[in-house]
Amino acid sequence: MNNIQACLFDLDGVIVDTAIYHYKAWKRLANELGFDFTEEQNELLKGVSRVRSLEIILGLGGITKTDAEKEELATRKNDWYVDMITRMKPNEVLPGAREFVQSCRDAGLKTALGSASKNSMTILEKIGMVNLFDVIIDGNKVTKAKPDPEVFLNGAKELGIDPANCVVFEDAIAGVEAAINGGMKVVGIGSPQVLVGANLVVKGLGEMSVERLQAL
Ligand code: BG6
Ligand code: MG
């Protein structure tokens, strides 16, 4: 039996499905720059920081920009994205996610958010989940992107829990690797073919229970 004392959750793709909003905003930007951006290409951006996402998109379009121009483009995309997420409603939480986080807390486990997104607080406020996390580490609090474990190690540290006693929930392979690099257990959300290395892979938090954590 393991000794899980804390659960750390990624946000986008685990608690909420914001990929569609990111996609719409990036597509609009790509279209303004004169090329298209497909939903398959959007998969490349899962778990990837805003600046890195922009660089990938510019690469797809074969476009070179200065750092100042990149800054302006990333801001433009983010303004459109924020416009969409500020209209999010509590019913956009993925099935079973709110209930599972709550059941972890009811069982006496600590909970933390570990997300690359600088918009995490806005989303948590809109879906009414701010109070379900003891600690929130978002893109404003980290300097190194996943697969670097910084975001999760900071979460464990703020919770006061040893990384070996933490489990991370992640939908991106970079996030699964970040958890492993931090010496934590990890439950993948998505496909076992993609999320290689996870201790367990499920389709969504609706499949999880506190009991299942014991078998990790
Ligand atoms: C991650 C998403 O959670 O956050 C990425 O999976 C996104 O797609 C990244 O690029 C950064 O988000 P934001 O909100 O800071 O632009
Ligand atoms: Mg994610």
Q: Are 58 and 95 in the same domain?
A: no
Question: Is there a contact between 25 and 130 (Cβ–Cβ < 8 Å)?
Answer: no
67 — pLDDT class (breaks 50, 70, 90)? very high
Q: Which of 85, 112, 138 is the endpoint of a domain?
A: 85
Maximum pairwise Cα distance, the chain? 56
Which residue, by CA, sits nearest to atom 16 of ligand 1?
50
CATH code at 23? Answer: 1.10.150.240
- How far, in Å, is the centroid of ligand 1 from the Cα of 17? 11
- How far, in Å, is the centroid of ligand 1 from the Cα of 35? 22
- Is 83 tagged catalytic? no
Q: Which of 36, 69, 85 is the endpoint of a domain?
A: 85
CATH code at 141? Answer: 3.40.50.1000
Q: Which of 32, 53, 85 is the endpoint of a domain?
A: 85
C-alpha distance across the termini of the chain, in Å: 8
Closest CA to 100 of 213, 215, 216: 213
- Is 106 tagged catalytic? no
Q: Is 1 among the domain residues?
A: no
pLDDT tens column, 104-123: 999 999 999 999 999 999 99
CA distances 86 to 82, 118, 206, Å, are: 6, 14, 25
- Number of domains forming the structure of the chain: 2
pLDDT tens column, 129-186: 999 999 999 999 999 999 999 999 999 999 999 999 999 999 999 999 999 999 999 9
pLDDT at 111: 98
Question: Is there a contact between 204 and 16 (Cβ–Cβ < 8 Å)?
Answer: no
Q: What is the mean pLDDT of residues 100-107?
A: 98
Cβ of 115 less than 6 Å from ligand 1 = yes
Q: Are 76 and 95 in the same domain?
A: no
Structural domain span for residue 33 = 19-85
Q: Are 35 and 112 in the same domain?
A: no
Which residue, by CA, sits nearest to atom 11 of ligand 1?
117
